[in-house]
Amino acid sequence: MSEIIPVWYKIAIAELGVKEIPGEKDNPRITEYLSSVFDYAQHDEMPWCSAFVSWVMTKAGYESTHSALARSWLSYGRAVTKPERGDIIILERGSHPWQGHVGFFDGLINNQYNILGGNQGNAVSYRVFDKSRLLGIRRPL
């Protein structure tokens, strides 16, 4: 039996490799992601993980939080305890309670979360995160 891959996750996968342009220029694709959460122009070197998730969900025909804050996804959709591919994972980041990171669950690697997300190494990429950083797992309604 083959795994069903959610439409939003297919959209996210298609964005792999999109990366920031160092210096004054901005990657137009990243500024497009940022336009899903801001009404005014933003530079690609600002935090954009939540903008990426927002853009993906909107492209897939789902609501988004329309927020640049990763932790805004903690109230999105419904909470789940066991992640499936494509679920939204919200992680701790930094020392302030408003900081966080958000991306899409891809699987487990060495009992850690493999996340497909934006602004991971300044690009849309896969990255492994320790489970101890987990704040929440959400699935669209």
Q: Which of 1-5, 54-58, 98-102, 133-137 has the lowest mean pLDDT?
A: 1-5
Quick one: pLDDT at residue 22?
A: 92
What proportion of the chain, given as a percentage, has pLDDT over 90?
89
Instruction: Kindly report, residue by residue over 72-95, the tens digit of the pLDDT.
Output: 999 999 999 999 999 999 999 988
Instruction: Kindly report, residue by residue over 46-66, the tens digit of the pLDDT.
Output: 999 999 999 999 999 999 999
Structure tokens at 17: 């490799």
- Mean pLDDT for 120-132 is 97
For the chain, which domains are there? 7-139 (3.90.1720.10)
Structure tokens at 106: 């891809």
- CB of 125 closer than 8 Å to CB of 131: no
pTM comes to: 0.95
Quick one: pLDDT at residue 97?
A: 85
Instruction: Kindly report, residue by residue over 97-122, the tens digit of the pLDDT.
Output: 889 999 999 999 999 999 999 999 99
Q: What are the beta bridge partners of residue 115?
A: 105, 127
Instruction: Compute the C-alpha angle 72/33/127, nearest 5°.
Output: 70
